[in-house]
């Protein structure tokens, strides 16, 4: 059923703490053709390069920590199928800790600054909080974001302009729709650079969780124009 | 009709990055339009303003360019693409739900149609 | 250590290891009780088991009028086959719903049928439809909790691996040693209380459902620090997991696909399981409940088929799903439908074609022995969540870990904060020299050149555990395994080498540290499995295939010097009324 294939992977290696220039190391890996990029990386580590630094945990597209660039496109290593030839690089534009692992502390600082928990004006009732079932479903979908930063890495507006990035817009939208949240999220979105978005939907195309941060931006913009807040 | 499944996102790096393509096309088509307008203004100027007639000699390439059918095709493509894509952007921001993939292909197709039509005018 | 720059001193009131829900809930509670909290995560903070889970949450919400807290308690004890710590099980049943409301107050939106009525479904075991859920599953639970920590400015230290807890001369916790993997420096936290919320040990097995970080570190650390373990011989296996692709092998396929209409109705039939001859082999194991049987029975039945060569070429059996539940499944668990599509194909995602499944290690039922306030035997050392034992006994209800980690996470945080307040800061010099010595010893492997690589040894341990201390166990094989572990410890471990010299994110170095913990737990598991000469719940022995009432008891494990001691202790006797089986109760209603 499953065929064997051999793939060639060029992996970017760099230890910033040691200085020196990044270089690409070539590996050949043989395995079943359903291998994911992560399988290739793990095999390289297990068989060929014990000193390779890489990150993963859940291996099923949930923790969002394995994101890398494959042939220039940001993807989740554990979900992306392996290619006959691929160049594997750490996720840009984040600072590299070593080899394929990036430092996400700045991302966390941004999340924290956005205050992404419902700002309650009155306490939770201690009984099912009244939320329309359809809205609850929508909130859950927005909350499926992995914080993988694939969209931020791909976003052309982030590269060109002062814009925090699509993932943050999505989380702000989640709060904007949450019935228990009393804060006004539109100024926050504006502050985070919402108007810089090109509305190009690259984030929608690449999001491994089938989310659309671009839609979140559009919803905020419509809210800005027509002044409609909570649904 | 069967319910739509979630997307299969295991071949992301193989697909064309539509957003990038659209954005680049939008910028290019905009540039084409601006350049056309500039050239057009210059051409009209040398034709209509006797004082500038001397420039005519300095631009021997102008008639050559003006007579290239493909340039007209590119121009028509650019105008239609730029206008429709811009309208699409506006419409979505005002609340229209438009599929970004399908709409892009439709806009490209319409723009190409305009270009082909323009070409056909010369060929005929 | 190269120099003292590699050893940094810090302090906290409450140090928490683990950024899963148990650790985060503890951090919220301890912070709200006024303690200065530091939370360590071995990887990035989102790399935890809770995030991977289906997030199904057992609690008595009132949406099913027939259900009651009492029934939940009884289901828990029945499923645990009577050896649960009854007090802990009672607390779980009592407090689960309050903690579910806490999650909602953090921003989670439980699925509902009406604005004020939750949507319920069934999970593995249990007699009533009672399980809450949300479409965002474990991702949603961890995300809303993380933002609560952000709101409280609780420092979260990513890539900080807890290595050991240091106990002072007074027998109390003095501090904890951690390795900052992202910088390659040691940090010693002086602190009067430490909470172990490091999750389970599923990485001890070749095929496991959990994340790569679950190597049982915290449980081993607690054992070394003087705490006792309980029920550690019980490892829960989930019957239905993905067979391929390699990366996803072992990941749980989720129960709705398997349960079919049983997901909503305890009387309905679950999806049939067939071997490569097309036989419904489960009928031989449980003719009454058939494929709706408990996880332990199903997992074992599948494993036996695979071992007997009646599996598929990829090493699984086939599940024939009921496509009638597809629509509900798609609405309730879109993420799982997506994974089915990506891993197997469209027909499988639509539940229209047979789905290949294999059992995998899911949940560590045992762990650090705790009291109702999560205290271990060592003053100042607490444990909560999957790292603690006793709540679920010999088998866990599906959907009972989520309330467990919330209920006991909170209790641990409150108790640890109180202890820190009562005791005040730890004296400056306490434990520092011990911690330094330990850190220096753990650097030795960085200098060696010969020897095996940690990953090779890890695989060997995982294979031994899977083959002999997994679903099907027997005395002689386990004796043999115990000896093999002894050899690894005495001969292989001291000679392990680490390939790269970089101190930054040196995975082999981390794996070496994990390996010590894995061996500690593996030995404790084998030793207690050997002692338990019967079959009960998740523990199945071919040489003692029957349930033995004498063993309505727990095995406690502790360390004496380098030796692992196992002891049988009669289970806390529940009151006579508690012994009534649930079935009778349910039909009597
Ligand atoms: C696929 C799947 C589905 C599941 N579905 C459900 C379900 O629907 N309902 C249910 O009730 N249960 C479910 N479970 C079980 C449940 O997910 C776990 O039991 C639960 O999440 C454990 O939570 P925890 O907080 O105790 O630990 P974890 O979430 O495992 O967190 C452990 C934390 O400890 C950290 N850590 C580990 N070692 C160290 C160290 N040395 N130093 C510092 N930090 C360390 C890790 O980084 C991690 O952050 C499921 C499990 C799986 C695999
Ligand atoms: S739509 Fe906006 S946010 Fe999304 S990738 Fe394009 S520019 Fe970035
Ligand atoms: S929106 Fe999608 S791509 Fe962006 S961080 Fe969230 S899951 Fe990743
Ligand atoms: S390993 Fe968790 S998302 Fe890939």
pLDDT in tens, A60-72: 999 999 999 999 9
Rounded Cα gap, residues C196 and C204, in angstroms: 18
Q: Where are the domains of chain B?
A: 20-123
From A77, A102, A127, the end of a domain falls on: A102
| Residue-level pLDDT at A229 | 52
What pLDDT band is residue A83 in, cutting at 50, 70 and 90? very high
Whether A58 and A114 map to the same domain: the answer is: no
Upper half-sphere CA count for residue C210 (Cβ side, 13 Å): 26
CB-ligand 3 contact for A193 (6 Å cutoff):
no
CATH assignment at residue A44: 3.10.20.30
DSSP letter at C15? Answer: E
Whether A55 and A129 map to the same domain: the answer is: no
CATH (residue range B20-123): 1.20.1300.10
Q: Long-range contacts for C93-96 (Cβ within 8 Å, ≥24 apart)?
A: C93/C60, C93/C69, C94/C69, C95/C403, C95/C407, C96/C57, C96/C58, C96/C59, C96/C60, C96/C72, C96/C403, C96/C406, C96/C407
C244-360, CATH topology level: Flavocytochrome C3; Chain A, domain 1 (3.90.700)
| Residue-level pLDDT at C2 | 54
Q: What is the mean pLDDT of residues A116-128?
A: 94
Q: Which residues in B lie closer than 8 A to residue C325 (C-beta atoms)? A: none
pLDDT in tens, chain C (589 residues): 555 679 999 999 999 999 999 999 999 999 999 999 999 999 999 999 999 999 999 999 999 999 999 999 999 999 999 999 999 999 999 999 999 999 999 999 999 999 999 999 887 777 889 999 999 999 999 999 999 999 999 999 999 999 999 999 999 999 999 999 999 999 999 999 999 999 999 999 999 998 999 999 999 999 999 999 999 999 999 999 999 999 999 999 877 778 877 777 777 888 999 999 999 999 999 998 888 888 888 999 999 999 899 999 888 999 999 888 899 889 889 999 999 999 999 999 999 999 999 999 999 999 999 999 999 999 999 999 999 999 999 999 989 999 999 999 999 999 999 999 999 988 888 899 999 999 999 998 888 888 899 999 999 999 999 999 999 999 999 999 999 999 999 999 999 999 988 999 999 999 999 999 999 999 999 999 999 999 999 999 999 999 999 999 999 999 998 899 999 999 876 654 444 444 333 333 3
The protein residue whose alpha carbon is closest to atom 1 in ligand 4 is A59
Interchain pair C330, B2: CB under 8 A = no
Residue A231 lies in a domain: no
Interface check B56 vs A, CB under 8 A: no
CATH (residue range C434-545): 1.20.58.100
The ipTM assigned to this model is 0.96
With 0-12 CB in 10 A as exposed, 13-18 as middle and 19+ as buried, what is C286?
A: middle
Rounded Cα gap, residues C128 and C64, in angstroms: 8
Whether A59 and A127 map to the same domain: the answer is: no
Whether A93 and A112 map to the same domain: the answer is: no
CB-ligand 3 contact for A148 (6 Å cutoff):
yes
From A78, A102, A126, the end of a domain falls on: A102
Whether A98 and A117 map to the same domain: the answer is: no
Going from the Cα of C306 to the center of ligand 3, the distance in angstroms, rounded, reads 39
Interchain pair B3, C337: CB under 8 A = no
Q: Which residues in B lie closer than 8 A to residue A206 (C-beta atoms)? A: 12, 17
Phi, psi angle pair for C545, to nearest 5°: -75, 0
Strands (E), C352-503: 355-364, 367-369, 381-383, 388-389
Closest C-alpha among B13, C98, C42, C307 to residue A79: B13
Phi, psi angle pair for B80, to nearest 5°: -65, -45
Rounded Cα gap, residues A44 and A82, in angstroms: 13
Q: Which residues in B lie closer than 8 A to residue C330 (C-beta atoms)? A: 3, 5
Residue B74 has pLDDT above 70, yes or no: yes
User: Which protein residues are within 6 Å of ligand 1, measured from CB?
Assistant: C 17-23, 40-43, 47-50, 52-56, 161-162, 197-199, 209-210, 213-214, 217-218, 251-252, 362-363, 385-387, 399-402, 405
Number of domains composing chain A = 2
**Which of A7, A33, A68, A200 should one mutate to test binding to chain B, selecting the residue with the greatest count of B CBs within 10 A?**
A200
- DSSP per-residue letters across C378-391: STTEEE-GGGEESS
Cβ atoms C424, C192 nearer than 8 A: yes
CATH assignment at residue A169: 1.10.1060.10
pLDDT-above-70 percentage for chain A: 98
Whether A34 and A22 map to the same domain: the answer is: yes
pLDDT in tens, A159-216: 999 999 999 999 999 999 999 999 999 999 999 999 999 999 999 999 999 999 999 9
Closest C-alpha among C575, C203, C554 to residue C392: C554
Torsion sign (Cα): C428, C434, C436, C438: negative
The nearest CA of chain B is from the CA of C361 a distance in Å of 26
Rounded Cα gap, residues C129 and C75, in angstroms: 12
Closest C-alpha among C409, C403, C419 to residue C16: C409
Which among A200, A221, A222 has CB closest to B19?
A200
Q: % helix / strand / coil in chain C, to the nearest 5?
A: 40, 20, 40
Find, in chain B, the residue whose alpha carbon is nearest to that of C328. Answer: B3
Residue A27 lies in a domain: yes
Interface check C352 vs B, CB under 8 A: no
Residue C252 CA: nearest ligand 1 atom is 1
Rounded Cα gap, residues C394 and C584, in angstroms: 21
Interface check C349 vs B, CB under 8 A: yes
Q: Which residues in B lie closer than 8 A to residue A216 (C-beta atoms)? A: none
Phi, psi angle pair for C432, to nearest 5°: -65, -45
Which among A105, A124, A135 has CB closest to C104?
A124
The nearest CA of chain A is from the CA of C288 a distance in Å of 35
The nearest CA of chain B is from the CA of A73 a distance in Å of 5
Going from the Cα of A151 to the center of ligand 3, the distance in angstroms, rounded, reads 6
The protein residue whose alpha carbon is closest to atom 3 in ligand 1 is C53
Pocket residue to mutate for ligand 1, from C25, C39, C48, C99, most atoms within 8 A of Cβ: C48
Whether A57 and A109 map to the same domain: the answer is: no
Going from the Cα of C577 to the center of ligand 2, the distance in angstroms, rounded, reads 62
The protein residue whose alpha carbon is closest to atom 8 in ligand 2 is A155
Residue A118 lies in a domain: yes
Whether A205 and A147 map to the same domain: the answer is: yes
**Which of A32, A40, A60 should one mutate to test binding to chain C, selecting the residue with the greatest count of C CBs within 10 A?**
A60
Rounded Cα gap, residues C123 and C399, in angstroms: 6
The nearest CA of chain B is from the CA of C336 a distance in Å of 10
DSSP letter at C492? Answer: I
Q: Where are the domains of chain C?
A: 244-360, 434-545
Interface check B2 vs C, CB under 8 A: yes
Residue A166 lies in a domain: yes
Find, in chain C, the residue whose alpha carbon is nearest to that of A116. Answer: C147
Find, in chain B, the residue whose alpha carbon is nearest to that of A86. Answer: B13
Cβ atoms A145, A209 nearer than 8 A: yes
Closest C-alpha among A2, A5, A55, A6 to residue A26: A6
Rounded Cα gap, residues C198 and C69, in angstroms: 28
DSSP letter at C491? Answer: I
Going from the Cα of A163 to the center of ligand 1, the distance in angstroms, rounded, reads 34
Beta bridge partners of A70: A73, A88
Rounded Cα gap, residues C164 and C196, in angstroms: 11
Whether A81 and A113 map to the same domain: the answer is: no
Going from the Cα of A203 to the center of ligand 2, the distance in angstroms, rounded, reads 6
Query: Which range marks the domain in which residue A44 is found?
Result: 4-102
Interface check B11 vs C, CB under 8 A: no
CB atoms within 10 A of CB C474: 15
Find, in chain B, the residue whose alpha carbon is nearest to that of C346. Answer: B5
């Amino acid at each position: 059923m499953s065929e064997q294939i051999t793939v060639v992977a060029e992996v970017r290696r760099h230890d910033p703490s040691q200085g020196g220039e990044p270089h690409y190391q070539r590996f050949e890996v043989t395995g079943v053709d359903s291998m994911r990029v992560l399988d290739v990386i793990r095999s390289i580590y297990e068989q060929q390069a014990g000193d390779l630094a890489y990150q993963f945990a859940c291996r099923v597209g949930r923790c969002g920590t394995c994101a890398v660039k494959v042939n220039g496109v940001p993807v989740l290593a554990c979900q992306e199928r392996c290619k006959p030839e691929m160049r594997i690089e750490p996720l840009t534009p984040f600072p590299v800790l070593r080899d394929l692992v990036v430092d996400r502390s700045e991302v966390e600082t941004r999340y924290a600054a956005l205050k992404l928990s419902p700002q309650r004006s009155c306490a939770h009732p201690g009984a099912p909080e009244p939320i329309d079932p359809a809205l609850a479903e929508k909130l859950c979908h927005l909350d499926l974001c992995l914080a993988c930063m694939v969209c931020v890495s791909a976003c052309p507006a982030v590269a060109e302009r002062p814009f925090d990035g699509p993932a943050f817009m999505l989380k702000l939208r989640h709060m904007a729709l949450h019935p228990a949240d009393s804060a006004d999220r539109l100024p926050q979105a504006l502050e985070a650079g919402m108007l810089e978005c090109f509305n190009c939907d690259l984030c929608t195309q690449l999001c491994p969780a089938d989310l659309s941060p671009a839609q979140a931006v559009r919803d905020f913009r419509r809210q800005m124009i027509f002044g409609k807040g909570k649904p | 009709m069967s319910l739509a499944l979630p997307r299969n996102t295991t071949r992301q790096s193989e697909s064309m990055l539509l957003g990038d393509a659209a954005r680049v096309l939008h910028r290019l088509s905009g540039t084409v339009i601006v350049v056309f307008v500039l050239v057009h203004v210059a051409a009209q100027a040398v034709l209509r303003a006797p004082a500038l007639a001397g420039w005519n000699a300095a631009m021997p390439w102008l008639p050559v360019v003006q007579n290239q059918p493909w340039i007209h095709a590119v121009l028509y493509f650019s105008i239609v693409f730029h206008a429709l894509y811009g309208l699409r952007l506006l419409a979505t921001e005002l609340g229209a739900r438009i599929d970004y993939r399908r709409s892009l292909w439709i806009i490209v197709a319409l723009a190409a149609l305009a270009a082909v039509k323009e070409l056909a005018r010369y060929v005929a | 250590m190269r120099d003292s720059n590699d050893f940094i001193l810090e302090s906290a009131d409450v140090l928490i290891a683990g950024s899963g829900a148990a650790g985060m809930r503890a951090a919220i509670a301890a912070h709200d009780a006024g303690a200065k909290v530091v939370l360590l995560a071995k990887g990035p903070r989102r790399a935890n088991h809770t995030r991977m889970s289906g997030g199904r949450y057992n609690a008595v919400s009132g949406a099913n009028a027939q259900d009651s807290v009492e029934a939940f308690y009884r289901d828990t004890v029945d499923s645990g086959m009577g050896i649960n710590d009854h007090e802990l099980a009672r607390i779980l049943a009592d407090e689960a719903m309050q903690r579910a409301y806490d999650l909602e107050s953090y921003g989670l939106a439980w699925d509902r049928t009406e604005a004020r009525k939750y949507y319920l479904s069934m999970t593995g075991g249990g007699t009533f439809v009672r399980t809450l859920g949300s479409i965002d599953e474990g991702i949603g639970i961890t995300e809303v909790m993380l933002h609560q920590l952000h709101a409280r400015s609780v420092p979260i230290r990513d890539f900080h691996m807890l290595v050991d807890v240091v106990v002072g001369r007074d027998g109390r916790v003095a501090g904890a040693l951690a390795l900052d993997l992202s910088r390659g420096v040691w940090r010693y936290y002086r602190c009067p209380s430490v909470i172990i919320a490091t999750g389970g040990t599923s990485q001890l097995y070749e095929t496991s459902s959990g994340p790569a970080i679950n190597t049982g570190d915290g449980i081993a650390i607690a054992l070394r620090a003087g705490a006792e373990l309980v029920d550690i011989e019980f490892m829960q296996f989930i019957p239905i997991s993905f067979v391929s692709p390699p990366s996803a092998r072992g990941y749980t396929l989720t129960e709705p696909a398997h349960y079919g209409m049983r997901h909503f109705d305890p009387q309905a039939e679950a999806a049939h399981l067939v071997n490569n001859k097309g036989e419904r082999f489960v009928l031989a194991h449980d003719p009454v409940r058939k494929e709706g049987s408990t996880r332990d029975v199903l997992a074992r039945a599948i494993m036996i088929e695979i071992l007997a060569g009646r599996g598929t070429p990829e090493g699984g059996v086939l599940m024939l799903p009921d496509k009638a539940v597809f629509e509900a499944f798609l609405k309730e668990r879109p993420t799982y439908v997506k994974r089915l599509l990506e891993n197997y194909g469209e027909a499988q995602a639509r539940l229209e074609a047979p789905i290949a499944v294999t059992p995998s290690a899911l949940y560590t039922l045992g762990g650090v022995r705790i009291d109702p306030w999560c205290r271990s035997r060592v003053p100042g050392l607490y444990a909560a969540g999957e790292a603690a034992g006793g709540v679920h006994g010999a088998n866990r209800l599906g959907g009972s870990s989520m309330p467990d980690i919330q209920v006991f996470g909170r209790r641990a945080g409150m108790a640890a904060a109180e202890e820190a307040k009562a005791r005040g800061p730890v004296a400056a010099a306490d434990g520092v020299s011990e911690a330094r010595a330990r850190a220096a010893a753990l650097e030795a492997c960085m200098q060696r050149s010969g020897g095996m690589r940690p990953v090779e040894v890890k695989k060997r341990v995982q294979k031994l555990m899977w083959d002999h201390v997994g679903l099907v166990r027997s005395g002689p094989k386990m004796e043999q395994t115990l000896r093999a572990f002894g050899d690894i410890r005495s001969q292989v471990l001291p000679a392990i080498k680490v390939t790269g010299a970089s101190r930054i994110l040196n995975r082999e170095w981390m794996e070496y540290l994990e390996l010590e913990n894995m061996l500690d737990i593996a030995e404790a598991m084998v030793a207690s499995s050997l002692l338990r000469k019967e079959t009960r719940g998740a523990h199945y022995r071919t040489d003692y295939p029957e349930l033995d009432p004498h063993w309505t008891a727990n095995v406690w494990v502790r360390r004496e010097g380098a030796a692992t001691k196992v002891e049988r202790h009669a289970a806390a006797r529940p009151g006579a009324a508690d012994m009534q089986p649930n079935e009778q109760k349910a039909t009597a209603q």
